[in-house]
């Protein structure tokens, strides 16, 4: 005969505690996953900003005559901004679906290019900013607009050769 006084298995209290621990662990994993997705979006935005900045820097290097001409610098910057903004009325380019998707990832982006000349060296400061409303709550930023920005500084020599 089987003795039923010997306990086999879990009690209700043990099962509830195990469920509580499992639920807490799953909730923690969900939060970690959410932050991971948010950080990957921010990483993608910053990668796109790097591509944009390198594009402008390449345009400035390609047209070295802009060194002393603010009007030409502004024209290059404006063409560059129009090429990166498919919603611009000044842009007459056609964009692929992936290019439009990249632009939607960078809402309200803008750029400023500030050249300064000192001791025969030109320093370009390029600041690209964009809005990332999700950054407000998960990074504890006090700026409620969620504006992010990256600054690039490029230096070049004003005069490459000695005049005779």
Question: In the prediction, which pLDDT does 22 show?
Answer: 97
Residue-wise pLDDT for 65-104, tens only, equals 655 667 777 788 788 877 777 666 555 566 667 666 666 6
Residue-wise pLDDT for 89-147, tens only, equals 555 566 667 666 666 667 677 888 888 888 878 788 888 888 776 665 555 555 556 77
- 130 backbone dihedrals φ, ψ, rounded to 5°: -155, 165
Place of tokens 């409620």: 144
Cα distance between residue 75 and residue 142, in whole Å: 35
Q: Which residues have CB under 8 Å from 134's CB, separation 6+?
A: 38, 41, 146
Cα distance between residue 52 and residue 79, in whole Å: 12
Contact call for residues 53 and 47 (beta carbons, < 8 A): no
Place of tokens 């390198």: 54
What is the pTM for the complete model shown?
Answer: 0.63
Question: In the prediction, which pLDDT does 161 show?
Answer: 45
Compute the average pLDDT of residues 54-62. 80
**53 pLDDT above the threshold of 70:** yes
Place of tokens 């990832």: 105
Split at pLDDT 50, 70, 90, the class of 164 is very low
Residue-wise pLDDT for 7-22, tens only, equals 667 788 888 999 999 9
Compute the average pLDDT of residues 47-73. 76
- Is 110 exposed, middle or buried, given 0-12, 13-18 or 19+ CB atoms closer than 10 A? middle
Question: In the prediction, which pLDDT does 102 show?
Answer: 67
Compute the average pLDDT of residues 25-40. 91
Question: In the prediction, which pLDDT does 23 show?
Answer: 97
């Amino acid at each position: 005969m089987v003795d039923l006084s010997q306990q086999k298995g879990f009690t209700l209290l043990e099962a509830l505690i195990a469920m509580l621990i499992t639920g807490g662990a799953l909730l923690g994993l969900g939060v970690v996953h959410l932050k991971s997705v948010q950080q990957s979006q921010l990483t993608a935005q910053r990668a796109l900003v790097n591509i944009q900045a390198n594009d402008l820097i390449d345009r400035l290097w390609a047209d070295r005559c802009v060194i002393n001409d603010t009007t030409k610098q502004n024209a290059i910057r404006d063409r560059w901004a129009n090429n990166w903004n498919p919603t611009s009325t000044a842009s007459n380019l056609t964009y692929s679906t992936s290019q439009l998707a990249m632009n939607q990832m960078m809402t309200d982006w803008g750029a400023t290019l500030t050249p300064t000349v000192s001791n025969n060296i030109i320093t370009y400061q390029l600041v690209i900013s964009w809005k990332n409303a999700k950054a407000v709550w998960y990074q504890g930023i006090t700026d409620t607009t969620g504006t992010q920005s990256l600054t690039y500084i490029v230096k070049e020599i004003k005069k490459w050769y000695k005049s005779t």
